[in-house]
């Protein structure tokens, strides 16, 4: 027989418990809490550490052997339930309410892939929940025990980052969507959502690298750009499109170009990249770079090249601080 006593709720849930049951608001179907005990064993049920009092809550509970049926679940009835045989804890489970989240899922979590390799990233950006986990594949979306959950840890800025691994081929045509299941809890509620997308739809390369800026003819510069180190290889297969933004020296006007050739008379430039095949999201811009002629660098070059060659040689390099110039001088080496 189950004994019921009064209780008060006071708990903080900042992790996913091993056992929990989810109820729906205004659902007439009772929620069953299972006690790991034999049918003939007398058990005492507790809620948040306090025993449940029969005369106050009899209308909300029904006995079913050692198990407890919870009727018409409301907020005061949520929390950790535990069943006891005397002083011995038999089992425990949390009763949570299904969250009624009105916001769009994209406002709670963002996902992106730096490349077509075997991982992608997601950021959870809502502070409403105290613990969040993500799972990839049907095992998680169908809530099987075989689901491999990834637990996130909150950063100083409140964002919870995740890195998930997948088994899609980088070279095959993509026909299978990634299925990401999100679970987020607080002390009373749990949010469950599923997000589906193709890997190609979340591609966002890291910032590329500006290698050099070289004079071409009298009026143009050729900007050499390398893909980010995190981008898929070979680069001849996984191509990137680069966009250059530059500031004109004479009037300060900003211009953009997807060609590596830009006007010579600029004061600074920056670059971003994307996958042109799927028109992916653009990467973040590189920091602004100053592009100026550095005659002092020709002193070093002249040690290795004939004077006749240097008379026709012109090089545009990025601005270096006095510390960097000193470190690269012959005297410092």
Per-residue tens of pLDDT for the chain, all 333 residues: 444 444 444 456 888 999 999 998 888 889 999 999 887 888 889 998 888 877 656 678 887 889 999 988 888 889 999 999 989 999 999 999 999 876 788 889 999 999 999 999 999 998 889 899 999 999 999 989 899 999 988 888 889 999 999 999 888 878 889 999 999 998 889 999 999 999 999 999 999 999 998 999 889 999 999 999 999 999 999 999 999 999 999 999 999 999 999 999 999 999 999 999 999 999 999 999 987 543 333 333 334 444 333 333 334 444 443 334 334 444 444
Q: Contact at 8 Å (CB) between 300 and 310?
A: no
Domains of the chain by start residue, with CATH: 2-98 (2.60.40.10), 105-202 (2.60.40.10), 209-318 (2.60.40.10)
Residue 96: which residues within 8 A CB-CB, separation 6 or more? 20, 21, 22, 23, 78, 185, 188, 189, 190
Three-state secondary structure string covering the chain = CEECECCCCCCCCCCCCCCEEEECCCCCCCEEECCCCCCCCCEEEEECCEECEHHHHHHHEEEECCEEEECCCCHHHCEEEEEEECCEEEEEEEEEEECCCCCCHHHCEEEEECCCCCEEEEEECCCCCCEEEEEECHHHHCCCCCCCCEECCCCCCCCEEEEEECCCCCCCCCCCCEEEEEEEECCCEEEEEEEEECHHHHECCCCCEEEEEEEECCCEEEEEEECCCCCCCCCCCCCCEEEEEEEECCCCCEEEECCCEEECCEEEEEEEEECCCCCCCCCCCCCCEEEEECCCHHHHHHCCCCHHHHCCCCCEEECCCHHHHHHCCHHHC
Position 292 scores a pLDDT of 53
- Note if the pTM is more than 0.85: no
Pairing of strands 88-98, 189-197: parallel
**In whole angstroms, what is the distance from residue 30 CA to residue 247 CA?**
68
């Amino acid at each position: 027989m189950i004994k019921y006593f009064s209780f008060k709720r006071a708990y903080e849930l900042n992790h996913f418990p091993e056992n929990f049951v989810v109820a729906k608001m205004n659902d007439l179907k009772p929620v069953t809490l299972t006690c790991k005990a034999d049918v003939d064993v007398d058990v005492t049920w507790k809620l948040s550490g306090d025993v449940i009092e029969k005369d106050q809550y009899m209308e909300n509970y029904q006995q079913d052997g050692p198990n407890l049926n919870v009727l018409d679940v409301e907020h005061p009835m949520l929390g950790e339930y535990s069943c006891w045989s005397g002083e011995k804890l038999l089992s425990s489970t949390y009763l949570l309410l299904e969250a009624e989240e009105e916001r769009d899922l994209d406002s709670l979590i963002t996902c992106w892939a730096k490349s077509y390799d075997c991982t992608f990233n997601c950021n959870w950006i809502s502070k409403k929940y105290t613990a969040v986990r993500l799972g990839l594949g049907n095992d998680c979306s169908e809530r099987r025990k075989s689901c491999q959950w990834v637990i996130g840890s909150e950063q100083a800025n409140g964002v919870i980052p995740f890195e998930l691994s997948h088994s899609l081929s980088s070279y095959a045509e993509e026909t299978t969507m990634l299925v990401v299941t999100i679970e987020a809890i607080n002390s009373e509620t749990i949010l469950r959502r599923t997000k589906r997308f193709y890997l190609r739809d979340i591609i966002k390369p890291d910032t590329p690298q500006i290698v050099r800026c070289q004079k071409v003819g009298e009026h143009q510069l050729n900007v050499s750009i390398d893909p980010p180190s995190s981008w898929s290889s070979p680069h001849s297969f996984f191509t990137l499109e680069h966009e250059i933004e530059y500031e004109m020296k004479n009037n300060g006007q900003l211009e953009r170009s997807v060609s590596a050739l830009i006007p010579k008379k600029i004061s600074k430039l920056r670059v971003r990249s994307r996958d042109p095949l799927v028109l992916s999201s653009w990467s973040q811009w590189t920091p602004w770079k100053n592009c100026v002629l550095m005659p002092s660098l020709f002193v070093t070059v002249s040690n290795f090249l004939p004077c006749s060659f240097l008379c026709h040689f012109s090089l545009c390099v990025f601005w270096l601080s006095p510390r960097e110039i000193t470190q690269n001088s012959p005297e410092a080496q």
